[in-house]
Amino acid sequence: MKLFVVGESRILPPTWLLSLGLLSLGLLSAPVNIALGQVGEVSIQFARDIQPILSEHCFACHGPDPESREAGLRLDDPEGWGTELESGEGVAFHAGAPDSSVAVSRIESEDSDVMPPADFGKPLDDAQKQLLRRWVKQGAKWQQHWAYAPLQGEVPAVDALPAGDDEWIERWSVTPIDRFLMRQMRLADLDLRPNPKADPVTLIRRLYFDLTGLPPSPEAVDRFVSDPTPAAYVQLVDQLLASPAHAEHMTRYWLDWVRFADTVGYHGDQDHAAWPYRDYVLKSFADNLPFDQFTTEQLAGDLLPEPTEDQLIASAYNRLLQTTHEGGAQDLEYREKYLADRVRNFSEVWLASTMGCAQCHDHKYDPLTQDDFYSLGAFFADIDERGSYDGAAPNAVPTLRHPQKEVLSPLDRDRLPDDFSQQIETRLAERLPAELERERRGKQKKLEEKAESSEAGDSKVAEVKLTSKEVQRIESQLRARIQKERYAELEIRTGQCMYTRAVEPREVRLLPRGDWLDRSGPVVQPRTPGSMPPMELPVGTEGKRANRLDLARWLFQDDNPLPPRVMANRLWAIAFHKGISSNLGDFGFQGQWPSHPQLLDYLAMRLQQSWDLRSVLREIVLSEAYQQESTVVAGRDPGNRFYTRQLRPRLAAEAIRDNALAVSGLLVPEIGGPSVKPYQPAGYYRSLNFPMRKYHASKGQDLYRRGLYMHWQRQFLHPMLKAFDAPTREECTAERAISNTPSASLVLLNAPEFVEAARALALRSVRETRSPPSEKNAEVKRSWEAARAIERMFRLTLSRQPDETEEKRLLQLYQAQLEMAQSDDEAARLLEVATPIAAERLEEEHLTVNQLFALTQVARVLLNLDETITRY
């Protein structure tokens, strides 16, 4: 296989030869002739081409973990390559001389001494062997792993882009994002071109689902379709990004990452007090709080100077992990479990690093040691909590997880009047005298009764007075009561919330093999992983014990490339449903080489400027690449590595629910507050205990809130959420899987919330398509037609008009169902599903039960369509 490639460009290195995957598949086995530069042999990049091979096939025995290292050979460290082997045979890789490189000859060996050994089960293929040989021949040059390397993302200049006269080239020359993508596309194949821009209906639906998780109303669609100009598009984007629904949508992602749930997770899975934290996240996204500040408040809000209540609520991040209240839990064992849990979550959320592997041994693939693991854990050793819960509200729902306190929802705090405490004091002053007198009389009466029942039988007691202590108690109780009343009047939501309180840090030891009973390991101090940029402590604080605040600052040091890359990649995935590095949770050696490293770095640097997540997401959705059609063109760009089309992912669980509620008009758009409980199958919590539990569905409006607010029971996640792949939030879920199962079909078909939504959609459609009221006679019944109602339902659900086939099929279904209902007495029971609707209501609507039945059946079909639950 001979490979040709362009020479180095001054602006961008030749990253067009995307991956070893392509090479080894032989997809580029023929000479590639392209318009630019010189043709020559491929320059192999270690980080892109070689390291993945070594990591996958060699590091398990010749990697960072000394415990499992064979023959003293270390291939993850370039120093190991040229070091004389223990066997005295020579060196592993002799730069420029593959024939005198022992590793090359062992890899190419056809005998039993072949590497990797046959029983390892991961043999190298010929292309990989050749690549290793060529890399050694080219000098066996080392390169830093892409994720750890400094950011470098210079935007390709327009005049440096390959020329062409297609219409799309002009469009794709405007934004930096498109220029990066186009360049890579053009360099690979001049005939490669992206899809055309999607039609306005598809575009507006895409934007709504990607930015808000909700569908557009038919009116919003009409507005955009009548004026689908770039300016209108920008306006739409800005309007959506500023909407509360966008904050809700972003919060949903964030809660998956930080594993937010309403219950403790282990054993009895009791409820804990966490919802105000969700409101903090909502408020932060609504205010577009800079990401560094958002992060710092969560990791170390309690350590900020004079923290506000919202900053303390933010610090609940440190308490979101799974905890146990099981009797007989051992304090030390659980403290160690919690430490490990925090390290796993912190490192995956902000570093996309799978530190969890280093709990028991040095990482097999990544330069992360066991010492790194426990040293990172030591940052969290000052968090006040108990490892076991003997005595603290055992087996109660909700349980107590001290420290926790009564707080205001961060979303409502702004509505607190400036003179709130003055108002309280005024009311207190009004009501206190009467309250004191009432209490005094009560005390007097008690004493009189006591005196009466005593042997002396003397009921005369001198007038008693309250002690100053009693006065104080009564006053503070009354004040609390008045405050509560006032909050209720102002509709300010309050509740308990866990938070972080720092105590004297506990001793943290490295645990050999992760065994908490083994206390022989060294004591470690807070320290960030050695392979990442060193922590810069503020001047004058060198030598002090680093804390969570320092850890947060370290994330945002200019020389730390991981957090900006991680977040840029995840923002990209919110819009493109695939990361530039396709593994959103692992930027380690076993992760995925980014398809467009410079683009990723460019976005990361944009983020680093001011940590403004919204503006970067805005830039992403304003690109042409984002706006193109999702149609697959057979044979072109199979893995969509060049972004020649958009993807068409199924909606997330919450969006599937929200969509059904929104199109039916049932959705209650209240933002924030305590979690709510929609309908759930009876007995679903039968396997929970300590205490036994019954699920009581919410009443009224709370049944129709967005999925974001659903009670998140870690052990028994609502079956609807579960069927559509929402995670249990025991661990960080950087990216949800998307499955396609019969259970999911059964939910959409039969779950009461979806049947109720279908019924409401049917009613709504009738109401919205009635003939206008008669001016002459208000008594004349406003008529409706099935065909128009069905068309309306279709538009509400899919934002477009049905085509002829669709229209005919649905009308036919309507007719058939109407007939069926007329001969089926049971059909009327459809009115009883979920929250029953009264038959009188139908009379007002001039509908018969059978008509509603038939329309509901049509609506059920619409809510179940693939197009309804897919973002195109």
Partner 1 sequence: MQAGSLSLGSAALSQMLPSMSLASLTGQQETGGVLSQLHFPAKAKRVIFLCMAGGPSHLETFDYKPELERLNGQPMPESFTKGQPIAQLQGKKLICQGALKKFRPHGESGQMICDYLPNIASIADDICIVRSLQTDQINHDPAHTVMNTGTSISGRPSMGSWVTYGLGSESENLPGFVVLTSVGGRNPQPIASRQWHSGFLPSKYQGVEFYSNGDPVHYVRNPQGISETAQQDVMQAIGDLNRHRFESIANPEIEARVAQYELAFRMQSSIPELMDFSDESADTLESYGAKGMDGSFAANCLLARRMVERGVRFVQLYHRGWDHHGDLDKYMNICCGHCDQPSAALIKDLKQRGLLEDTLVIWGGEFGRTPMFQGKGASAGRDHHIRGFSMFMAGGGIKPGITYGATDELGYNAVDNVVHVNDLHATMLALMGIDHKQLTYRFQGRDFRLTDVAGRIVKEIIA
- Least separation in angstroms between residue 723's CB and partner 1 is 8
Residue from the set 180, 254, 275, 365 that interacts with partner 1 by CB under 8 A? 365
Site for partner 1 in 78-137 (CB under 8 A): 121
Q: Is the link from the previous residue into 176 a cis peptide, with omega within 30 of 0?
A: no
- Least separation in angstroms between residue 790's CB and partner 1 is 12
Tell me the window of 28-36, 85-93, 553-561, 708-716 that interacts with partner 1 (CB under 8 A): 708-716
Site for partner 1 in 654-683 (CB under 8 A): 681-683
Where helices occur in 77-175 by DSSP H, the ranges are 78-81, 102-108, 126-137, 167-171
**CA-CA distance, 505 to 558, in Å (whole number)?**
29
Which residues are CB-contacts of 713 (< 8 A; sequence separation ≥ 6)? Answer: 261, 262, 263, 269, 685
Site for partner 1 in 517-536 (CB under 8 A): 517
Give the phi and the psi of residue 247 in degrees, each rounded to 5.
-60, -40
Site for partner 1 in 254-273 (CB under 8 A): 265-269
Amino acid identity of 794?
F
Tell me the window of 76-84, 379-387, 567-575, 733-741 that interacts with partner 1 (CB under 8 A): 733-741
**CA-CA distance, 382 to 526, in Å (whole number)?**
11
Site for partner 1 in 615-644 (CB under 8 A): 631-632
Q: Does 755 bind partner 1 (CB under 8 A)?
A: yes
Question: Which residue, 451 or 820, has its beta carbon nearer to partner 1?
Answer: 820
Burial class (CB in 10 A: 0-12, 13-18, 19+), 231: exposed
**CA-CA distance, 52 to 206, in Å (whole number)?**
35
Q: Does 743 bind partner 1 (CB under 8 A)?
A: yes
- Least separation in angstroms between residue 655's CB and partner 1 is 16
Residue from the set 426, 689, 771, 774 that interacts with partner 1 by CB under 8 A? 689
**CA-CA distance, 276 to 314, in Å (whole number)?**
9
Residue from the set 357, 378, 613, 676 that interacts with partner 1 by CB under 8 A? 357
Site for partner 1 in 588-617 (CB under 8 A): 588-591
Where helices occur in 352-492 by DSSP H, the ranges are 370-377, 420-453, 468-489
Q: Does 328 bind partner 1 (CB under 8 A)?
A: yes
Which residues are CB-contacts of 273 (< 8 A; sequence separation ≥ 6)? Answer: 398, 401, 404, 495, 496, 497, 498
Site for partner 1 in 140-169 (CB under 8 A): none
CB 208, CB 241: distance < 8 Å: no
Tell me the window of 69-77, 135-143, 304-312, 745-753 that interacts with partner 1 (CB under 8 A): 745-753
Question: Which residue, 45 or 850, has its beta carbon nearer to partner 1?
Answer: 850
- Least separation in angstroms between residue 333's CB and partner 1 is 7
- Least separation in angstroms between residue 331's CB and partner 1 is 9
Tell me the window of 404-412, 526-534, 669-677, 809-817 that interacts with partner 1 (CB under 8 A): 809-817
**CA-CA distance, 647 to 628, in Å (whole number)?**
10
Question: Which residue, 686 or 781, has its beta carbon nearer to partner 1?
Answer: 686
Tell me the window of 103-111, 127-135, 457-465, 802-810 that interacts with partner 1 (CB under 8 A): 802-810
- Least separation in angstroms between residue 725's CB and partner 1 is 6
CB 396, CB 690: distance < 8 Å: no
**CA-CA distance, 239 to 621, in Å (whole number)?**
13
Residues 287, 289, 295, 299: is their CA dihedral positive or negative? negative
Site for partner 1 in 534-593 (CB under 8 A): 583, 585-586, 588-591
Return the structure tokens found at 241.
């990004």
Question: Which residue, 465 or 829, has its beta carbon nearer to partner 1?
Answer: 829
* Residue count, binding to partner 1 (CB under 8 A): 93
- Least separation in angstroms between residue 742's CB and partner 1 is 4
Return the structure tokens found at 42.
């491929």
Residues 12, 15, 16, 17: is their CA dihedral positive or negative? positive
Q: Hey, what's the torsion of the CAs at 668, 669, 675, 679, to 10 degrees? A: 30
Question: Which residue, 411 or 833, has its beta carbon nearer to partner 1?
Answer: 833
Site for partner 1 in 813-842 (CB under 8 A): 813, 816-817, 820-821, 824, 826-833
Closest CA to 668 of 657, 684, 683, 653: 657
Closest CA to 410 of 304, 311, 321, 480: 311
- Least separation in angstroms between residue 192's CB and partner 1 is 20
Question: Which residue, 444 or 864, has its beta carbon nearer to partner 1?
Answer: 864
Question: Which residue, 490 or 865, has its beta carbon nearer to partner 1?
Answer: 865
Residue from the set 371, 730, 768, 845 that interacts with partner 1 by CB under 8 A? 730
Q: What length does the chain have?
A: 872
Which residues are CB-contacts of 372 (< 8 A; sequence separation ≥ 6)? Answer: 355, 358, 527, 528, 529, 530, 531
Question: Which residue, 284 or 323, has its beta carbon nearer to partner 1?
Answer: 323
Q: Does 797 bind partner 1 (CB under 8 A)?
A: no
Beta strand 508-509 pairing with 494-498: unpaired
Taking the CB of residue 305, how many other CB atoms lie within 10 A of it? 5
- Least separation in angstroms between residue 870's CB and partner 1 is 7
Q: Does 46 bind partner 1 (CB under 8 A)?
A: no
Residue from the set 687, 775, 778, 844 that interacts with partner 1 by CB under 8 A? 687
